[in-house]
Structure 1
Amino acid sequence: MGESFARQGLYGQRYLLSRFGTAASVGMNVDPFGHNGMLPQILRGQRLDSYMFLRPGKHESDLDDSLFWWEAPDGSRVLAYRIPFEYCSPPGDVAWQTEKSIAQLDSSLGEGMVFYGVGNHGGGPTKANIDSIHRYDRMGTFGRMKMSSPREYFDEMLARGPAFLENLGVRRDDLQHHAPGCYSAHSGIKAWQRRAQFNVLNAERWAAVSALDSGVEYPREDLERAWKQVLFNQFHDILPGSAIEQSYDDARDQLGEAVAISKRIITRAHNLIAARIDIPFEAATQPVVVFNPHPWAVEEDVELQYGVQPTGVHVVDGTGVTAVSQRVQSVATTDDKGRGAVAFRASLPPSAIASTACARGRPSTPRPRAASW
């Protein structure tokens, strides 16, 4: 979800500041399976003004430009560069890497970035890589070859001025799709991720409300630990389903920890908030509090489990009027006839809390009929 993209940038920039004393200004995604069209807005919010990526290649999309403006629906732009050919190279000289890269570059730009170094799983530039760059630069085989950085390249492009920049193409769409099978390769990780993301966000909302309402300390460290488990397992081979089997055992457990942390925070917050709601005592009833964590109105069927009520229960709203409800299957597996469950319809405004009452036994007056359930 979009919030995860925002948190990746937040924690990434915090890490760079804590370790190197500076934040990044160039976004880099060298081995992606697709880029959402909202990314330019998120990147600019993270103080990144440029973006470089490898895929999709020319054979995978209608994108022909090497350098272009990538624009989100809100008008946010980043200067984007598609890495030609590959981002990693063999350990020897860079001639083959350079030839392939130049062949894919837009020659009208005059300059381009060629990436090199041994990947994917560790390593980096070798001595042979570096020696060959200096050698080919002296020979002029590929023109001027300069050891540089993405920041320096983008600054040189920006320094060319408005006439050059205004003539660049503008992409107002996503950059999809590489390896589309990965989007459906492993259903478990998709479900675990979505569940964890929603739970952590829900925990943040109610923790903030509880801190303001009840004066308890905001569980910042617990929430950070939960978010980091979520973000770590969005690595590009774990989330798409292209990792090895054992990694999904770890992902399931780590995302489960994020959910467990979140549920403890949510339960504590709900208990503290509910304890402060002034519900008048009424014999033979059990108060029920329903929470809507969403910033939009919700009308939802709420299922309530109960015990020690052989004749069932009925639901009364906050004004004492019998509400539409229906007995449903209890989750209990015993033959205790006093256990049961009831479903009732709750309508709540955005980010609201509502209370109702669950009275025992059948209502003294006929219940309104529901059109459908």
Structure 2
Amino acid sequence: MHDNTALVEARIDRFVLDRITPNIYRRAAPLTVEAWEVPDEPVPFAEAVRQQFVPFAPGTPWSRPWGTTWFRVTGVVPEGWGADPATALEAVVDLGFSTRQPGFQAEGLVWRRDGTLVKAIEPYNGYVPLALVGGSASPGAPIEFFVEAASNPDVGGNFFYLETPMGDKATAGTAPIYTLRTLDLAERDTVVWELDRDIWTLLGLMRTLDPGTPRRHEILRALERACEVVDHDDVAGSAVLGREALAGVLASPAAASAHRVVATGHAHIDSAWLWPVRETQRKVARTFSNVVALMDEDPDFVFAASSAQQYAWVKERYPDLFARMKEKIAEGRFVPVGGMWVESDTNMPGGEALARQFVAGHAFFRREFGIECDEVWLPDSFGYTGAMPQIARAAGAHSFFTQKESWNETNRMPHHTFLWEGIDGSRVFTHFPPVDTYNSDLSAVELAHAEREYSEKGVSNVSIVPFGWGDGGGGPTREMMAAARRAADLEGSPRVTVGTPASFFAQARDEMPDPAVWSGEMYLEFHRGTYTSQARTKQGNRRSEHLLREAELWCATAAVRGLLDYPHDELDELWQTVLLLQFHDILPGSSIAWVHQDAERNYARVAEQLGALTARAQEVLAGQGDVAVAFNAGPVPHRGVGASS
């Protein structure tokens, strides 16, 4: 038979580009847009909606670097829309996104007119179901919502190491950097969307298979038949025929020996990096609102997020979202992981500070949600101290998760699932995913990579894949969940099950009762320059650790003598500030100038407040007369008293 494979593949690609993608939305109508640009730093919803909004049209530039523009969106449902049960009404928003990467650029947060937030607008998640903003699908029904749009610049561009004026508001300029492209009401064809997901899954799978395998050609010919049976002039009316043409190859089950993947929704959000902490607080709200909205839409969706600090920001700034998160956490679908205050660096903080990361994190999760975290979750920190297994076990953790070791420049880690042994002999069950990313979209390429690279073949056959766009990309999407469903039991692909980190670790332990052992530090052969960068940030951390220790000793001494009430809350707040600044892109010095300027101001505040606390404790102790005070500040008992002048 004549081999026309290349021609057929080109035809399929053209079919998707010309016929499927343009017909996912049957029709669209522009909504009315008004705008108000915030003069400086972001403001709350209640303040924004009191401002004077002016008419604003798509095609108009908006907001300077690091600025915020609020869009008020209104309209009515057109006659005849929403009547077909195979359609769904959505607002579609394009703030001027780049397709270069899903995060690191403009983002938006959608609010109802009553001041409750809905979900985010991101480059790969630019829709808002009409029902979520309180709108009726009935013809003539009014539509109204607000979009809080952040014009965060793409600081890194294609190269993260070049000098840029965008890392500091003082040098970033004032010219608008985004142009609003689209803000429409659209009618999504759910059957065409499902067909698009079928094709995306199969086309991706086909291209991972060896050209000589029968399975590859079965998929190719099924896709070719779909191109033939779908009427190019009536895609909506014939999309079901395309799905029928693909049903057989989608139903073919995976091999018994196929790799098994536990897919866990995730969105790695750096607590600061190419944006300041104040923007991280909004990024977290955007992503977590997306997560909750997707959970309401999809009962199979499970999501894991670390960093108690990020939950605390939501509790303080977005209490209605926090309440919705607590409901999902109680259901076991929104899963706090890690048990640390932030995903900290592990090489520069002192041992006491690393312990406090767990003390503060566990206390928050226990107090707010009544849960204990069994795993340490550090996908992105720049190497891991050999003391970590001991600290993790002392904190009650039995599992450790990272991804960063796959970035090693020279020496590849020999295992993906193993026991990590610390310097004192403590061991923690450890996994880093062979998919080699913590921002997967569950594509066939990534799943095949996980299966191919997994080191423990023949002993174990399960790995975890964290999926979702991070750092402002908005987290997992409905498209990713569609991919997970199609790959649940699909010939040529690993088997995918959506589940929690705990379910993965339970399976992995069952399969590996006697894992290999890695002893000592897990050194990262990458990012090594971070340990000589931003000296003032590093000095501030070390000085703060010492001042905290000193203040606690003096205050505890005065408190046990009944001379003052121990300033627990104030010391907790200061510890939390220092713990935040130990985040793995702040303390190592890899963030923009704005982040390190904020860090230096915070360290100065910490030093001032701790100095006052220590002075107060010393003052009340001195008031007792000629009394000597001796401290054993070491970690082990000590005999005798050392005199000092």
Matching residue of 2:413: 63
Matching residue of 2:553: 205
1:66 to partner: Cα distance: 0.6
Q: Secondary structure at the match of 1:242?
A: coil
1:105 to partner: Cα distance: 1.2
TM-score by length of structure 2 reads 0.42
One-letter amino acid of the counterpart of residue 424, structure 2: D
Q: Retained in 2: the 8 A contact 1:133–1:145?
A: yes
Verify: 1:114 aligned to 2:488, yes or no. no
Q: Retained in 2: the 8 A contact 1:86–1:115?
A: yes
Matching residue of 1:242: 590
Q: Retained in 2: the 8 A contact 1:66–1:83?
A: yes
1:292 to partner: Cα distance: 6.4
Q: Secondary structure at the match of 2:586?
A: coil
Q: Secondary structure at the match of 2:464?
A: coil
The whole-number CA distance in structure 2 between the counterparts of 1:293 and 1:193 is 23
Choose which of 126, 145, 148 in structure 1 pairs with 2:496.
145
Q: Secondary structure at the match of 1:35?
A: coil
1:123 to partner: Cα distance: 1.6
One-letter amino acid of the counterpart of residue 248, structure 1: H
What RMSD in Å do the two structures reach over aligned CA positions? Answer: 2.3
Matching residue of 1:318: none
Question: Which blocks of at least 5 consecutive residues in structure 1 are unaligned?
Answer: 280-288, 297-347, 357-373
Verify: 1:194 aligned to 2:539, yes or no. no
The whole-number CA distance in structure 1 between the counterparts of 2:504 and 2:523 is 25
Choose which of 61, 65, 73 in structure 1 pairs with 2:423.
73
Percent of matched pairs sharing the same residue: 26
The whole-number CA distance in structure 2 between the counterparts of 1:273 and 1:216 is 10
Q: Secondary structure at the match of 1:240?
A: coil
Matching residue of 1:133: 484
The whole-number CA distance in structure 2 between the counterparts of 1:37 and 1:267 is 37
Q: Retained in 2: the 8 A contact 1:214–1:273?
A: no
The whole-number CA distance in structure 2 between the counterparts of 1:186 and 1:349 is 39
Q: Secondary structure at the match of 2:604?
A: helix
Q: What does the per-residue CA deviation read over 1:201-243, in whole Å, with 9 as the maximum and x for residues that have no partner?
A: 1101111111123432111011011101101111111111111
One-letter amino acid of the counterpart of residue 149, structure 1: T
The whole-number CA distance in structure 2 between the counterparts of 1:276 and 1:61 is 61
The whole-number CA distance in structure 2 between the counterparts of 1:218 and 1:61 is 50
The whole-number CA distance in structure 2 between the counterparts of 1:121 and 1:5 is 27
Q: Secondary structure at the match of 1:146?
A: strand
Which has the bigger relative contact order, CA under 8 A and spacing at least 6?
Answer: 2
1:103 to partner: Cα distance: 2.6
Distance of aligned partners of 1:16 and 1:295 in 2 relative to their CA distance in 1, 3 Å threshold: closer
One-letter amino acid of the counterpart of residue 437, structure 2: E
The whole-number CA distance in structure 2 between the counterparts of 1:212 and 1:41 is 30
Distance of aligned partners of 1:291 and 1:274 in 2 relative to their CA distance in 1, 3 Å threshold: farther
Q: Retained in 1: the 8 A contact 2:564–2:617?
A: no
Distance of aligned partners of 1:246 and 1:293 in 2 relative to their CA distance in 1, 3 Å threshold: farther
Matching residue of 2:522: 175
1:290 to partner: Cα distance: 9.0
Q: What does the per-residue CA deviation read over 1:85-136, in whole Å, with 9 as the maximum and x for residues that have no partner?
A: 111035xx52122122223212232111122211133521111111011112
Distance of aligned partners of 1:122 and 1:14 in 2 relative to their CA distance in 1, 3 Å threshold: farther
One-letter amino acid of the counterpart of residue 448, structure 2: E
One-letter amino acid of the counterpart of residue 420, structure 2: W
Verify: 1:275 aligned to 2:626, yes or no. no
One-letter amino acid of the counterpart of residue 388, structure 2: L
1:141 to partner: Cα distance: 2.9
Q: Retained in 1: the 8 A contact 2:365–2:371?
A: yes
Verify: 1:40 aligned to 2:385, yes or no. no
Q: What does the per-residue CA deviation read over 1:147-166, in whole Å, with 9 as the maximum and x for residues that have no partner?
A: 11221111122234xxx422
Q: Retained in 2: the 8 A contact 1:94–1:116?
A: no
Matching residue of 2:444: 95
The whole-number CA distance in structure 1 between the counterparts of 2:484 and 2:353 is 39
Verify: 1:123 aligned to 2:474, yes or no. yes
Q: Retained in 2: the 8 A contact 1:200–1:262?
A: yes
Q: Which runs of 4+ in 1 moved over 6 A?
A: 289-293
One-letter amino acid of the counterpart of residue 158, structure 1: R
Matching residue of 1:321: none
Q: Retained in 2: the 8 A contact 1:53–1:81?
A: yes
Q: What does the per-residue CA deviation read over 1:15-55, in whole Å, with 9 as the maximum and x for residues that have no partner?
A: 21233221211111011101110101111111110001012
Distance of aligned partners of 1:219 and 1:174 in 2 relative to their CA distance in 1, 3 Å threshold: same
1:10 to partner: Cα distance: 1.0
Verify: 1:52 aligned to 2:404, yes or no. no
The whole-number CA distance in structure 2 between the counterparts of 1:95 and 1:216 is 63
Distance of aligned partners of 1:39 and 1:142 in 2 relative to their CA distance in 1, 3 Å threshold: same
Q: Secondary structure at the match of 1:277?
A: coil
Matching residue of 1:283: none
Q: Retained in 2: the 8 A contact 1:116–1:125?
A: yes
Q: Secondary structure at the match of 1:241?
A: coil
One-letter amino acid of the counterpart of residue 575, structure 2: W
1:11 to partner: Cα distance: 1.1
Which has the larger displacement, 223-232 or 15-24?
15-24
Verify: 1:8 aligned to 2:343, yes or no. no
One-letter amino acid of the counterpart of residue 476, structure 2: P
Q: Secondary structure at the match of 2:520?
A: coil
One-letter amino acid of the counterpart of residue 509, structure 2: L
Q: Secondary structure at the match of 1:230?
A: helix
The whole-number CA distance in structure 2 between the counterparts of 1:210 and 1:290 is 10
Q: Retained in 1: the 8 A contact 2:447–2:494?
A: no
The whole-number CA distance in structure 2 between the counterparts of 1:169 and 1:159 is 14
The whole-number CA distance in structure 1 between the counterparts of 2:430 and 2:355 is 19
The whole-number CA distance in structure 2 between the counterparts of 1:6 and 1:254 is 21
Q: What does the per-residue CA deviation read over 1:278-304, in whole Å, with 9 as the maximum and x for residues that have no partner?
A: 38xxxxxxxxx89767449xxxxxxxx
Choose which of 374, 388, 391 in structure 2 pairs with 1:25.
374
One-letter amino acid of the counterpart of residue 231, structure 1: L
Q: What does the per-residue CA deviation read over 1:170-195, in whole Å, with 9 as the maximum and x for residues that have no partner?
A: 11111112311111111111100000
The whole-number CA distance in structure 1 between the counterparts of 2:599 and 2:427 is 34
TM-score by length of structure 1 reads 0.72
Q: Retained in 2: the 8 A contact 1:61–1:176?
A: no
Q: Secondary structure at the match of 2:487?
A: helix
Verify: 1:215 aligned to 2:566, yes or no. no
One-letter amino acid of the counterpart of residue 541, structure 2: Q
The whole-number CA distance in structure 2 between the counterparts of 1:120 and 1:59 is 24
